[in-house]
Structure 1
């Protein structure tokens, strides 16, 4: 009989690795390698923004599919599907010869995260004791930071060979995906309560603040993921330091694995507001700063703030949607994705009109509005 610690470990480690791969590599690797891909494939800023929004749209579709797939087939099918999408999509990106083929690969790879994230809401509820769920969930959701931290050095080592970087990402995806599928509980272990998944179940007075908050965070944060490296390059920072700043963002995101403990000490509401303020400050700094030192500070604030906000929304969702955690988290991710679909496209247009600082400051305004929608005090 596995001990509580063993069950926590076999849930958290594969979970964090899967989120690192699907988010940090398959989804956010696009922003990291965008300058080199733009130069070779002749992409404009607004075209790059449209491709990024397309990836978020595919994420939204996969996020809806995973509710049915997890309920009918169990988490292993969802995680296996996520691995397949990540591998195929990133392989297509690595072989892209024009904007169209790049867009296809980015859109397919972006869908992987939509299948991978929601099942862990059910897995944590089944495998982890209540006292350790905040720690488990914050660690799994901070996997994005691990992925970004890994992607940065790979991109630096690859240099101008962005295709090589994507192929390394593919190799990582295969190993991580196999581990996650093998470690996921069987379908029989996941027994969601029988509730009717209707519009009124997803959107109600209790869920309204959470969903609005997710949209606002998606609007602001997506601009960072899509354009931060490009903005640093435009400000005169060389390619390698810009990628290092991106990697620093990932390393700082790992700190969010401690946010479950912080939320327990401060309360979810205070922890959430603090995280949103850090996220906003990062976008302001990147929008107003013109040197590497400020960029590194912004990267630390964004990495810690973004991953902490995602962890807080996951814990908040588990309370609001306690009857079906994975379906509830899919609803939150859908709201987040609505923001991330609009964000890069709008930012790409704003960049063409007014430059990167204006786009980043507008993104900061969106995230700051999220402090008007907070978890309940209890």
Structure 2
């Protein structure tokens, strides 16, 4: 029986990686990859594209709040909700005859990612042994990278036929959701003795401990949104050949996927320190992508760095809230991811309003500055804490 339990655990972790890959990389974050071709076919501008991205981020937050409230009691059913909203939503996107239909279905499809993260955190916490739980969480969270790579491969093969690409993404999302649901079933519940207790709402002191992560997550979300929404558009506008712009997106995904390899080193580092390192690199990458999109090698390097840094930073948020209170790890993940994506909603709307009148360089430079502030805040707080701890004469 132990061997079958171990197999079920491995399937759960790999399936969880696949669910994150599908709901984030293939559906939610692939929006920016396919946006130039969708705009060409459906006839809407950058301002509408930014508004749709902002609305999708808002509904993601709704899904993540639902995960915050329900992960402790119904994590498996959250997986079903994630697969259905993302999978069916993206299939409707693929069939959309008009911009309003496309925008509405894109907003709904984004909900799946919000449901998936807290559900997988709860399932891994309750079904994976404590000795390897942190690494398992990092592996599942790194699914964004492989999802981006898969989206890029679909784009490279199928574009400008974005409809077929998103139809494939929808079918894959529904299938991988079914795998996770079955792997986390009643038999899988006894995989380890480390089953997490049913979550209860945190108390006031817990929320107080989340203030710094909440602030920096909001800032990072706002600054990083420009890459997810207009990253490929910046390359297209700079005259980079279409195939190379898709390759850049694939490189971004490879950078995110490499987090599964580097997790063995970053998992031993305090979460706040990991956060500052990863977001500093992300700020540099955003700046490079905005200022040097015409230099293909520099743009590819920026995409790789940003992919790794963004995914590792989101993993640092999970580790940060887990360090605070492991019992409420799913609730903390939902809270921080809600704030992160709320920041993306603000950032996407702001970038959409700025990119045409102010230009790509100015928009990306402002975004990089916001990300840099997110990197600096924990260091400033830590330094202030050390100073306050020094006795005065």
Interval containing the TM-score (normalised by the shorter chain): over 0.9
Q: Aligned partners of 2:2, 2:56: CA distance in 1, in Å?
A: 39
Q: Aligned partners of 1:141, 1:312: CA distance in 2, in Å?
A: 10
Q: Aligned partners of 1:311, 1:224: CA distance in 2, in Å?
A: 19
Q: Deviations over 1:16-57 (max 9, x none)?
A: 000000000110121110000011111111110000011101
Q: Aligned partners of 2:275, 2:262: CA distance in 1, in Å?
A: 10
Q: Aligned partners of 1:117, 1:196: CA distance in 2, in Å?
A: 18
User: Could you tell me the TM-score, scaled by structure 1's length?
Assistant: 0.93
Which of 312, 318, 324 is equivalent to 1:320? 324
Q: Aligned partners of 2:246, 2:217: CA distance in 1, in Å?
A: 27
Say if 1:123 and 1:185, in contact at 8 Å, map to a contact too. no
Q: Deviations over 1:176-196 (max 9, x none)?
A: 111111112449776545644
Does 1:349 pair with 2:350? no
Q: What displacement does 1:242 show?
A: 0.4
* Match in the other structure for 1:30: 31
User: Could you tell me the TM-score, scaled by structure 2's length?
Assistant: 0.90
Does 1:306 pair with 2:310? yes
> Where does 1:164-175 land on structure 2 (aligned, <5 Å)?
164-175=164-175
CA RMSD of aligned residues (A): 2.1
> Where does 1:208-227 land on structure 2 (aligned, <5 Å)?
208-227=211-230
Structure whose alpha-carbon radius of gyration is higher: 2
> Where does 1:288-303 land on structure 2 (aligned, <5 Å)?
288-289=291-292, 290-303=294-307
Say if 2:257 and 2:308, in contact at 8 Å, map to a contact too. yes
Say if 1:118 and 1:329, in contact at 8 Å, map to a contact too. yes
Say if 1:32 and 1:243, in contact at 8 Å, map to a contact too. yes
* Match in the other structure for 2:389: none
Q: What displacement does 1:76 show?
A: 1.3
Say if 2:202 and 2:328, in contact at 8 Å, map to a contact too. no
Which of 241, 245, 259 is equivalent to 1:242? 245
Gaps of 5+ in 2: 383-393
Q: Aligned partners of 1:218, 1:231: CA distance in 2, in Å?
A: 19
Q: Aligned partners of 1:191, 1:274: CA distance in 2, in Å?
A: 31
Q: Aligned partners of 2:332, 2:2: CA distance in 1, in Å?
A: 28
* Match in the other structure for 2:147: 147
* Match in the other structure for 2:266: 263
Q: Deviations over 1:134-178 (max 9, x none)?
A: 211111111000100000010111121111111111121122111
Q: What displacement does 1:266 show?
A: 4.1
| CA 363–2 in structure 1, closer or farther in 2 if over 3 Å, else same | farther
